[in-house]
Amino acid sequence: MKRLIPIFSFLLITQFSQAQTLFTYGTKQVSKQEFLHAFQKNNTETPDYKTAVTDYLELYTRFKLKVQAAYDARMDTLPNQKADMLSFRKQIEEPYMTDTVALKRLVEEAYQRSLKEISLSHIFIPFRSDFQANPYSTNPISKEDSLSSLKKMQEVSRRLKAGNNFEELARDYSADKSTAVKGGKMGNITVFTLPYEMENVVYGLANQQVSDPVISARGYHFFKKTGEQPARGRIKVAQILIAFEPDVTPSQKAAALKLADSLYNAIMNGSNFEELARKFSNDKLTLATGGVMPEFGIGQYEPDFEDRVFSLRSKGEISRPFETSFGYHIVKKIDGFPVEKDLKIAYPFLKSAVMEDPRSKIAAKSFEKQVIQKVAIKKSVYDASALWRMTDSFIYKNKKISIGSLNATSVLFSFPKKKVTVKDWLEYARGNVAEGKEVNYPEQMKQFTTASSVVYYREHLDDYNADFRAQLQEFTDGNLLFEVMEKKVWNKAAMDTAGLRKYYGNHKTQYQWGPSVSAIIFNTSDKRSAEDAQRSLQQNPAGWRSMMESSGGRINGDSGRFEIAQITDKDANKLKTGYLSPIVENETDKSASFYYIVNVYTKTSPRNFDESRGMVMNDYQLELEEKWIAELKKKYPVKVNQLVWQDILTKK
């Protein structure tokens, strides 16, 4: 009995393995899992499961045969196939190059923060004494400036802790002049308004709490939370701006307000907002769009502007002229977009925003640590001090030298399918050494090792990620299917005029005109142009081409014979020569269309070859494809495992 146990186990394993193969074609196998995955992906609604899955078995078998023929013809080595695959790979690889758990956490955090706005006040103490004159200067910060800003920050911090008024300190100390005059009030912010480090601080504050100093690249920041409210979402508006300069005189300001009031009254009396915006608005960025601004949310413009704009309730509502530091604004609400409260719906949009934000580096750094474990890096033993000397010589003297057993081809570390050499390190080091700065080679080597691991993982993603591998294979097979079908069926049929005519001659009776019409189908740029075209047709139907040519592109027409069902649901007996259909307006772009009946044919009549060509081409392609499939089935015999197939049929 002891000798029977391993033999019995082997038979069970073999039977199980065979049971999971649904069908073979030639020497290739297709598993039950692969087939069901493809079926479920392409058949989301299957009221008659058995019929659907049976039909799909034939479709999937034919797909596999065609793709195998493409591989056997080495179509996967064609330059266009390689280029397409590489392009697709680059498109899809990024989501696989991040820590999905860390990314999910960042997205869910962004979702929670997106639901509310926080009112803030701000004190800014810059590192540079000339910040007001040169706010974006990249010159080194002097020791005097650094010490002065530190002392000022410490003084503000001490006075805040002593209970001094935040608003008074903002007026006295803050270099953010736009908010200092308001006691530091900077309005409301929401997720993505501030840099992530600052966002973390302010979302952690209690109401009326003041933050510890926050350091940025430009200076020190103190934040005070003065309130919070539900987020107002995003909005799209059009504006007319009557601008004035910061040093505007009272008379100039009064003149600007008078003009703004007169424009507002004109709009209220029926004047076109967009036309007035193009003529009078001083907002040069929106002149071409009739004053329409890009969609925006909280924290992008002055608080006073945002508060007035978001107070508009209904689409089309227009504000009275109101003042900001830029001038007088008249704003028309075009649309509003409330914050999405369903996480499932909001998730993809927030994920995209997180991926584009610097906070995504958190997930990227976490991913880098995981990659080093996944790629099975093997480090070589070498003299590090000798390598640093070689590196100095290469960077500063442009010389490649060898020290002991260490030379340019020496391997520093390796991956399963790649070796990283001293030469690779030297090129990396030279590109990452900042002139005039002290170099920490051991730290740079850590960064180089990490960067090399990430590059290797990216280049071999299909070795490490089954989902990525499957997605890449699916694209490759689909692309090859198109390539082989184009060669074996589509182009072959299109170029075989004699074959098409022969097919038509053998199947003439299949190609008949049912109830049909000769008609001209018109497409116009707008409804008014369609109305003009119809009036012209009523007066002179034969002049439709001249009308079209003189319209400057506003009116386009195409004549031909059409089955009645192609253009209308009307009964043929209800149509007559000269019939003009109702105008149909496209809501998206406001274009319009209609048709004009030239002749009506109520009886069946044969189509000639030219009239049938499209249908003949389609039928001829099907015939060529069936002949080709028959050849493929002989070349790659298909055998279905009936046990597995019956199991699929009985288990929906």
Query: What's residue 4's pLDDT?
Result: 34
Kind of pairing between the strands at 219-230 and 214-215: antiparallel
Q: Any residues with CB less than 8 A from the CB of 176 and at least 6 apart, and which? A: 122, 123, 124, 184, 186
Q: CA–CA separation, 422 vs 415, rounded Å? A: 15
Contact of 596 with 579, CB cutoff 8 Å: yes
Q: Which fold has domain 116-230?
A: Chitinase A; domain 3 (3.10.50)
1: pLDDT strictly greater than 80? no
Kind of pairing between the strands at 296-297 and 234-243: antiparallel
Return the CATH number of the domain spanning residue range 234-337: 3.10.50.40
Mapped onto helix, strand or coil, the DSSP state of residue 636 is coil
**Identical fold at 116-230 and 234-337?**
yes
Q: Per residue in 279-306, pLDDT tens?
A: 999 999 999 899 999 999 999 999 999 9
- Split at pLDDT 50, 70, 90, the class of 437 is low
- Mean pLDDT computed over 620-629: 96
Q: CA–CA separation, 319 vs 329, rounded Å? A: 8
101: pLDDT strictly greater than 50? yes
Compute CA 601 distance to the chain's CA centroid, rounded to the nearest angstrom: 49
Query: What's residue 484's pLDDT?
Result: 96
- Mean pLDDT computed over 421-447: 87
Q: What is the pTM of this model?
A: 0.66
- Assign domain 512-606 to its CATH architecture: Roll (3.10)
Contact of 69 with 484, CB cutoff 8 Å: yes
Residue 357 parent element (H or E): none
Query: What's residue 18's pLDDT?
Result: 45
Q: Per residue in 111-121, pLDDT tens?
A: 999 999 999 99
Domain spans in the chain, listed from the N-terminal domain onward: 1-72+638-652, 116-230, 234-337, 376-459, 512-606
- Mean pLDDT computed over 358-362: 94
Q: Per residue in 54-70, pLDDT tens?
A: 999 999 999 999 999 99
Query: What's residue 10's pLDDT?
Result: 35
Neighbours of 1 (CB within 10 A): 5
pLDDT over 70 percentage in the chain: 96
Residue whose token pair is 């109305």 = 531
